[in-house]
């Protein structure tokens, strides 16, 4: 089968990133995947897996150098690398927040900055950033993750305007809850213990979040939707992949008064008790 193009998948070791990498490979793309857990020499056959730590400039340079040995082009880049830190705004430390933003936001920016010169030279390219429903609204005890995804939403809007003249397109994927995420990237603030004044509300919210993820959508179905969008002549800028109730939550967030939204979400996550 003739290859459709070369795609870099950033953060492809598990969850939505792995599902998206598999979907591109099944669709006939040359896939070059990067993740911190990919150590050692890449396989000589099959999808290429390269070690990549998006928080390390040297590692980012090494990934690009090795990827270009596989293909001199980058027709698409999909940025999925992210971590989640659950905790109250008061108890998440600056160190925990800095580490999350370094991965979720700056890690994405580092890799896009390396892909852009290649895409400008080609006069084509598709940049796909994984945001979230949390890029559109906040929920209790996910302030760090929500902050990072809101940042990506604004960054992508600017990026799309600046690069359109070079034939480059941008897409924000906004997933709701999906099954199968790695627990290695779902962390809890160290200070969020039974001594915290937020403890009971925090425990309630974490229980609801865990339940919703376990009952979430299929990662494989999301990967196929991302590929279908990438194959379009003109990609959709926003691709929401979420259950009807989460789509409704986004609509309500847009049109209802802020206090009413806060009341609804606090009741849903049992944080107003």
Whichever domain contains 90, its CATH number is 3.40.50.720
Query: DSSP alpha helices (H): ranges in the chain?
Result: 15-26, 57-70, 94-101, 107-122, 143-163, 199-214, 219-230, 244-255, 258-268
> Which residue range is the domain that position 239 belongs to?
6-244
Among residues 145, 198, 202, 269, the one annotated as catalytic is 145
- State yes or no: pLDDT of 165 exceeds 90: yes
Q: How large is the average pLDDT for residues 74-84?
A: 96
Instruction: Classify residue 172: in a domain, yes or no.
Output: yes
- State yes or no: pLDDT of 42 exceeds 70: no
The two three-digit tokens of residue 199, written as one number:
């403890």
Instruction: Classify residue 228: in a domain, yes or no.
Output: yes
- State yes or no: pLDDT of 46 exceeds 80: no
- Domains of the chain: total: 1
Question: Parallel, antiparallel, or unpaired for β 125-130 and 76-79?
Answer: parallel
Told to judge if 268 belongs to the known catalytic residues of this protein, a careful annotator would answer no
Distance CA 107, CA 123 (A): 24
- State yes or no: pLDDT of 43 exceeds 60: no
Instruction: Classify residue 268: in a domain, yes or no.
Output: no
What pLDDT sits at residue 123? Answer: 97
Instruction: Classify residue 270: in a domain, yes or no.
Output: no
What pLDDT sits at residue 99? Answer: 96
pTM: 0.94
Instruction: Classify residue 72: in a domain, yes or no.
Output: yes
Instruction: Classify residue 250: in a domain, yes or no.
Output: no
- The 3-class secondary structure across 82-100, one letter per residue, is CCEEEECCCCCCHHHHHHH
Instruction: Classify residue 104: in a domain, yes or no.
Output: yes
The pLDDT > 90 percentage for the chain reads 89
Reported as a single tens digit per residue, the pLDDT across 183-210 is 666 789 999 999 999 999 999 999 999 9
């Amino acid at each position: 089968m003739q290859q459709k193009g070369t795609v870099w998948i950033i953060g492809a070791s598990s969850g939505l990133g792995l599902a998206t990498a598999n979907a591109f490979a099944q669709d006939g793309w040359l896939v070059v995947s990067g993740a911190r857990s990919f150590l050692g020499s890449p396989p000589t056959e099959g999808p290429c897996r390269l070690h990549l730590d998006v928080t390390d400039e040297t590692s980012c340079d090494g990934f690009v150098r090795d990827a270009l040995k596989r293909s001199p082009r980058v027709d698409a880049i999909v940025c999925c690398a992210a971590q989640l830190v659950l905790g109250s705004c008061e108890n998440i430390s600056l160190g925990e927040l800095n580490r999350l933003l370094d991965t979720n936001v700056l890690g994405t920016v580092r890799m896009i900055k390396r892909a852009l010169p290649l895409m400008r030279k080609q006069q084509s390219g598709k940049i796909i950033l994984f945001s979230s429903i949390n890029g559109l609204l906040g929920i209790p005890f996910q302030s760090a993750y929500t902050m990072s995804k809101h940042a990506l939403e604004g960054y992508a809007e600017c990026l799309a305007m600046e690069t359109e003249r070079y034939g480059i397109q941008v897409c924000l994927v906004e997933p709701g809850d999906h099954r199968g995420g790695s627990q290695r990237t779902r962390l809890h603030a160290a200070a969020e213990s039974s001594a915290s004044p937020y403890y009971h509300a925090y425990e309630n919210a974490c229980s609801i979040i865990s339940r919703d993820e376990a009952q979430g959508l299929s990662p494989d179905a999301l990967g196929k939707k991302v590929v279908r969008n990438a194959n379009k002549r003109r990609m959709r800028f926003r691709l929401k992949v979420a259950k009807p109730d989460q789509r409704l939550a986004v609509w309500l967030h847009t049109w209802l008064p802020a206090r009413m939204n806060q009341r609804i979400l606090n009741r849903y996550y049992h944080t107003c008790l």
